[in-house]
Amino acid sequence: MLRYYQGVDLLDVHRGEMSWRRLRVLIEHLPPESATWTALRNGMSDEEIEEQAEKGEPEKGRWSQLEQLVAIVGDRLARLEYTYTCAHVEKRQRPQAPEPLRRPGAKPPKPKPKLSDASAEVLFKLINGGAA
């Protein structure tokens, strides 16, 4: 914290020269990559992470904008590599599509439901006008 707030002495809270509220505000406004936020993030339980994901408050995200942009570039590069590979190998040798990089406060993507044979048959009948 002292790296970001030069001249701030944490003992000022003990001396009565800084309020606890002021200390909290200083901590809340540290950059996401600070050691304090990293320690808080690493100490979160799975339930706390899930609760944060449910709230859906991106403004309280734990990554800086630069980290978000780098994750997007990584995702797009992985997708390009996957597309290139698919274009140059046999269909049966194609790799699985890449997963996006996990972001803090975001749930992993849900798997897409598979179309069963019975559902495919019903869909086929609907398309061909057989099930009115």
Q: Is the pTM of this model over 0.85?
A: no
Parts of the chain with a pLDDT under 70: 1-4, 55-62, 105-109, 130-132
With a CB cutoff of 8 Å and minimum separation 6, the contacts of 129 are none
pLDDT of residue 131: 54
Tens-place pLDDT, residues 46-70: 888 777 777 655 545 567 778 788 8
Cα gap 18→41, rounded to integer Å: 26
Instruction: Output b/e per residue, 93-120; b: 16+ Cβ within 10 A.
Output: eeeeeeeeeebbbeeeeeeeeeeeeeee
Kindly state the tokens that stand for 132. 């009115």
pLDDT of residue 105: 62
